[in-house]
Amino acid sequence: MSVQLAMLVATAVLAVVAVVAAVVTVRSVRELRRIGDRVARDEGAAYRDHLEDSHDLDAPPRSSAALDHRVEPVPTAEVVRVVEGRVIVQPTHDQVVAATMTRPSVRLNILLGGVAHALRPESRDRILGLMRREYRARRRARQRAARAAARATNGPPPASGGQGWVGS
């Protein structure tokens, strides 16, 4: 198997992984949006029901002082309903996100997204540059250590017959 063929196969595998990661990510985002829309719709309905229960909309206000001191109700964080004798509590947005982010498929998508980011040309070039600099710095450090060790063990050459170092 030639090097070019191996590179072609590796590139094809990486492309397939990137496409699968993109598809799974898009599906997850659509699911989260659908869940978010449903939660917002349910919270809005619960808020309207709460408003209708707390205010009699058909009755006119008693005085202007009653209008000034009207307190807007705060929407509840949890929507509690009783359906056929069963208590159903709508999960909060934080609970939905926490449950979704701990799923293995989402964690795998996050990992694949990081790998895809690392394989982009700009990230890949930056990483290769960092590795090249680190490799060269370590090689220079090894060469300095080898020269220092050679100087420590060999010492200067003996001066024989008046022939010393050039220029000394």
- Does a structural domain hold residue 31? yes
pLDDT reported for residue 146: 93
Please report whether residue 86 resides in a domain: no
Quick check: 38 pLDDT over 60?
Answer: yes
Domain limits for position 109: 102-152
Is 114 inside a domain boundary?
yes
Closest CA to 67 of 77, 55, 75: 55
126 within 8 A of 114, measured Cβ to Cβ? no
HEC sequence for the chain: CCHHHHHHHHHHHHHHHHHHHHHHHHHHHHHHHHHHHHHHHHHHHHHHHHHHHHCCCCCCCCCHHHHHCCCCCCCCCCEEEEECCEEEEECCHHHHHHHHHCCHHHHHHHHHHHHHHHHCHHHHHHHHHHHHHHHHHHHHHHHHHHHHHHHHHHCCCCCECCECCCCC
> What CA–CA distance (Å, rounded) separates 52 from 71?
14
- Weakest mean pLDDT among 7-11, 65-69, 147-151: 65-69
| 13 found inside a domain | yes
| pLDDT the model gives residue 142 | 96
Does the pLDDT of residue 9 top 70, yes or no? Answer: yes
pTM: predicted TM-score of the whole model, two decimal places:
0.29
With 80 as the cut, is the pLDDT of residue 23 above it? yes
Per the domain annotation, does 74 fall within a domain?
no
User: Is the pLDDT score of 103 beyond 50?
Assistant: yes
State the total domains in the chain.
2
Which residue matches tokens 């220029």? 167
CB-facing half-sphere around the CA of 166: CA atoms within 13 A: 0
- Any domain includes 79: no
56 within some domain: no
| Residue 150 φ/ψ region, left for φ over 0, alpha for ψ in the -120 to 50 degree band, beta for the rest | alpha
Poorest-confidence range of 18-22, 45-49, 113-117?
45-49
Asked whether residue 50 is assigned to any structural domain, the reply reads no
The answer to whether 75 and 50 have CB atoms below 8 angstroms apart is yes
